[in-house]
Structure 1
Amino acid sequence: MGRVLTLEDVTFAVKGGSVFACGGGGWVEHGMELGTLAVTIGRPELVAMDEIHDDAWIATAAAIGAPGGLTDWQMLGADYVKAVQLLQEALGDKVYGLIIGQNGMSSTLNAWLPSALLGTKVVDAVGDIRAHPTGDMGSLGLANSVEPMIQTAAGGNREKHQYIELVTRGATAKVSPILRTASDMSGGFIASCRNPIRASYVRQHAALGGISMALSLGQAIAEAESRGGIAVIDAVCTNTGGQVIATGKVTSNSLKYTNEAFDVGVVTIGTDAGEVRIHVMNEHMAVETGDGQRLATYPDVITTFDMAGKPTSAGKLREGMQVAVFHLPKSRIPLSSSVTDPSVYPHVERTLGIKLADYALL
């Protein structure tokens, strides 16, 4: 059966999740706080999909907003729990377990506190191995479905009276933007629980083993840290089969927060023949050379490391910082139905002004 997650697992989840965060995916401090609370207040349990009955209800625990640190957000661990409670009330049934929409600095741990307090299992499956900007990209292929779904949200800046609780029902593509609007109104970051579906569907459409992948990578990072930043980056490459595709100093970062609760911009690294540009929409979505040659595209894993071996979020990439750009091609990771769904790309392509689907769906 499943295993109880430990304090050591919290560290591994944050370290591994930070690589799969791809420049977004929340905050290290938030992830450590969520995980530590979960394993000290209860006993969150990680369960593989092959241990779960086909008819069990599985929902997605997610955080919605812009993780670049450009807004005055507030989200408490209780908000993740409240979102699950709201969904169970609306569903009229108990949720057996929670998957996450994506790995990330904190999002890998989104299901742990509800598991500790409500008894829902932490399911070892994800909507996307890496972090992404829109809920549709982690929706297991439901983005274009006309089937009504339940989506809930809770959270917000209390001091500014921006706390919101929300229960919505409708087709995923119609209600997902409502939750993102709520995120913006709440201060830029909100907890959600959404799309309760049967385990049989999750088994077919999720990226299975996604939590275990983050834990394994995090352990490899922890074991390499005493040898320095280069050793950490080497350990990441060895563990995943990825490689560093560029190094250099950040020369510009145009990231801006939008009223859709996205951080959007371009980070330029290096100069002249060594220049690369990273297109960002919350996360690193594509890398191009200075003359426009595409080097990496979502759903590839694209991560920036500082020279201490720390994955660095897009909002913290400052001019003059020396960084390495890590690339793990999509062929080396399990892909969910979300990232092979053509309907999830047009909105992101319009926002970034570049093509993604031409590469992603090859």
Structure 2
Amino acid sequence: MAIKLDEYTVEHAVYGGAVLGGGGGGKIADGLQIGRLALEIGHPILKTAEEMEDEELLVTVSLVGAPAAKEQYVKPMHYIKAIDLLSQAMNEPIRGIITNENGASTTVNGWFQSAVTGLPVVDIPCNGRAHPTGIMGSLNLSEQAGFISHQAAVGGRGERFLELSISSSLDIAASTVRQLSVEAGGLVAVARNPVPVAYAKKHGASGAIQQAIQVGEALCSHKGEAAIDSVVALLGGKVIAEGTVTDFVLETTGGFDVGTVTINKDWSMSFWNEYMTIEKDGIRYGTFPDLIMTLDAKTGRPVVTAEVEKGQNLAVIIVPKEKLILSSTMRNHSLMCPIEKIIGKQIINYL
């Protein structure tokens, strides 16, 4: 059945998406803003996978860049322009929109576009949690020999404004869009990789938006420690650490936020937009795509990596990957190899 979208759905999707973002996936304020705007200007439609025909064409929408970039500038109409540019490159009509991942703003990716265009958002995200690279959100199309990726990106203002339409190999298209996000000030709105519904159902994370909404309901129905406990109970995770942020290092480079968070001087978490690892005394307790997430210990509000500060009192939760709704890319070890180079820690051996 189609899912009714209203103010409560927006709030729950954004807060639940923030948890499933695992440190990335955008900021809560941005998600609430774009979700509420969608409701103000129209009637965004959210459909389940079962309501779509297998041959109908879906396009992925996303934000690409570094959430902490100081000069980022993406406005709602940039999302629409990206879809328009992609449509011009296609020979078939687009019948639906899917988001690239769950996150505070990415869970509601496509809701504004749906309100403007009338196209439905379909509950088959490319991934049920947030991830750093565009290829991780590309439904394993990297494994399709000869696949041509069609992508469009729009963002920036003034001399930094750009719009791009590219048709190329997936690697070249993804890296080009990522590099241009830097030129645009740190962030661009993207529409990419049209695929049939049948392919999306096979490789995507069907039902992950509904899961985000459920997580948001669990979080928003309680306060403080009770909110955190409610979330971990729903997801089958646990609170693994709590304490003060004693060290925080963040560098925005190559269109990504990269760094570490240290809690109580002994719990160390690395991140590449999203949290990648959590360790204590040399022992690994969680490894991407396990969900590692920080929440304010007092309020229960999710805290993404771009908003962590020294002195904050945070709770850290972990949810095993087996408990999440994930795409086929999260089982593709070749897509995990770049993480090791970026964060300087082993990933593959822990998968």
Q: Which range, TM-score by smaller chain?
A: over 0.9
Q: Secondary structure at the match of 2:107?
A: helix
Give the letter for the 1:169 counterpart: S
Distance 2:203 2:24 in 1: 23
* 2:194 aligns with one of 193, 196, 215: 196
CA contact (8 A) 1:285 1:298 kept: yes
Distance 2:233 2:261 in 1: 26
Distance 1:155 1:87 in 2: 15
* 1:356 aligns with one of 323, 347, 350: 347
Q: Does 1:269 align with 2:263?
A: yes
Q: Structure 1 residue 204: deviation in Å? A: 0.6
Aligned to 2:227: 232
Q: Secondary structure at the match of 1:44?
A: coil
Residues 273-292 of structure 1 aligned to structure 2 (within 5 Å): 275-289=266-280, 291-292=281-282
Q: Structure 1 residue 53: deviation in Å? A: 0.6
Q: Does 1:58 align with 2:86?
A: no
Q: Does 1:293 align with 2:289?
A: no
Give the letter for the 1:310 counterpart: R
Q: Structure 1 residue 71: deviation in Å? A: 2.0
Q: Secondary structure at the match of 1:109?
A: coil
Residues 69-218 of structure 1 aligned to structure 2 (within 5 Å): 69-145=68-144, 146-156=146-156, 158-159=157-158, 161-218=159-216
Q: Structure 1 residue 4: deviation in Å? A: 3.7
Percent identity between the aligned chains?
Answer: 37
Q: Does 1:325 align with 2:320?
A: no
Give the letter for the 2:34 counterpart: L
Distance 1:198 1:38 in 2: 25
Distance 2:319 2:172 in 1: 32
Give the letter for the 1:119 counterpart: G
Q: Structure 1 residue 144: deviation in Å? A: 3.8
Q: Structure 1 residue 188: deviation in Å? A: 0.3
Q: Secondary structure at the match of 2:54?
A: coil
CA contact (8 A) 1:138 1:339 kept: no
Residues 7-18 of structure 1 aligned to structure 2 (within 5 Å): 7-18=7-18
Q: Structure 1 residue 124: deviation in Å? A: 0.6
Distance 2:71 2:191 in 1: 22
CA contact (8 A) 1:144 1:343 kept: no
Distance 1:358 1:85 in 2: 43
Aligned to 1:254: 249
Distance 1:265 1:17 in 2: 22
CA contact (8 A) 2:260 2:269 kept: yes
CA contact (8 A) 1:163 1:186 kept: yes
Distance 1:254 1:208 in 2: 35
Tell me the alpha carbon deviations over residues 292-338 of structure 1, each in whole angstroms, 9 at most, x when there is no partner.
21101111111101121111111222222111110010111122111
Unaligned runs of at least 5 residues, structure 2: none
Q: Secondary structure at the match of 2:268?
A: strand
Q: Secondary structure at the match of 2:239?
A: strand
Tell me the alpha carbon deviations over residues 211-236 of structure 1, each in whole angstroms, 9 at most, x when there is no partner.
00001111111211xxx310110111
Unaligned runs of at least 5 residues, structure 1: none
CA contact (8 A) 2:69 2:185 kept: no
Normalising by structure 1, we get a TM-score of 0.94
Distance 1:92 1:81 in 2: 19
Distance 1:322 1:140 in 2: 37
Give the letter for the 1:209 counterpart: G
Distance 1:250 1:347 in 2: 27
Give the letter for the 1:254 counterpart: V
Q: Structure 1 residue 101: deviation in Å? A: 1.2
CA contact (8 A) 2:129 2:326 kept: no
Distance 1:335 1:312 in 2: 22
Distance 1:85 1:292 in 2: 50
CA contact (8 A) 1:304 1:312 kept: yes
CA contact (8 A) 1:268 1:277 kept: yes
Aligned to 2:22: 22
Q: Secondary structure at the match of 1:107?
A: coil
Normalising by structure 2, we get a TM-score of 0.96
Aligned to 2:220: 222
Give the letter for the 1:270 counterpart: N
